[in-house]
Chain A
Amino acid sequence: GQQLNQSPQSMFIQEGEDVSMNCTSSSIFNTWLWYKQDPGEGPVLLIALYKAGELTSNGRLTAQFGITRKDSFLNISASIPSDVGIYFCAGQLAGGGADGLTFGKGTHLIIQP
C-alpha cells in the first residue's frame, strides 16, 4: 500500500537538542496526524492538523500542515530522554475518506547521554 515519505529514518541526538522531521507525498491530504510509538505499545496521538498552513503546538512539539497539502513537519525543542521512540506521520487522503490513514515508515529518535 501507499506510504508517505518520512525522513530521516533515524536520528541520533544529544539531550537538549532540537529535532526536526518531515513527511512528503505526491498526493494531497486533508488531515495530517503525528504519532509516537514506544516498543510494544500502540501509537499515541501527538498533534492533529486539519488546514493547509496550520501551525499547532503541544508543549515542546510543533507541527505544520504544508500549504501545498502534500507535506508536514514535526519539531521537538529541547529534547529529553523520554522523547526516545518512533515518530510516525499519518494522513487522510483528500477524497479518500474510505481509505483510512496512510502512514510513513517512521523516524526512530535516539538520544545519546
Chain B
Amino acid sequence: DAGVTQSPTHLIKTRGQHVTLRCSPISGHKSVSWYQQVLGQGPQFIFQYYEKEERGRGNFPDRFSARQFPNYSSELNVNALLLGDSALYLCASSFRGASTEAFFGQGTRLTVV
C-alpha cells in the first residue's frame, strides 16, 4: 500500500515567488494536515483539512493557503516567499481528524534564495 506521497521532494525558489506543494494521503484517509519544520525544530502545524473543509489553522500568515480536492489530495500554496519560509514542509494523513494517528510523507524541502 502506498503511504503519503508528496511532490516535489525538493525545490528552490526566489524571494517574492509563489510555490505550490502537493500531497496524496493514504488510501481511505480523509484528513490531511500540513506542517512546517525548520532545521533543529519540531514540526509546526499550518492547516488541517477534513472532508474538503478547513478544520484548523495554525499561526501562519495569510500568504499560506491550502485546499483539499474531492479525491482527498491537497495543495499547500505560499505566496510572496520570504527567506524564512525555507523549511521542510510535511503532509500528514489520518483517517479522520488530527486526534487520530497521523502518518507523514517524506516532505518537500523548500529553499528560498
Contact = CB atoms under 8 A, between A and B. Distances in A.
Interface residues of A, number: 28
A78 interface: no
B61 to A, nearest CB: 13
B98 A97 contact: yes
A75 to B, nearest CB: 20
Nearest to B6: A42
Contacts of A101: 33, 35, 43, 45, 92, 98, 102
A33 B102 contact: yes
A42 B93 CA distance: 12
Nearest to B109: A40
B42 A100 contact: no
Contact of B58 (A40, A99, A106): A99
Contacts, number: 80
Interface residues of B, number: 31
B73 interface: no
A30 B97 CA distance: 13
Contacts of A30: 99
Interface of A: 1, 3-4, 6, 30-31, 33, 35, 40-45, 48, 88, 90, 92, 97-106
Interface of B: 4, 33, 35, 40-48, 55-59, 90, 92, 97-107, 109
Given A1-B58, A44-B104, A45-B101, 17 more contacts: A1-B45, A3-B41, A35-B104, A40-B106, A40-B109, A42-B4, A42-B90, A42-B107, A43-B104, A88-B42, A97-B55, A98-B48, A98-B56, A101-B92, A101-B98, A104-B42, A105-B42
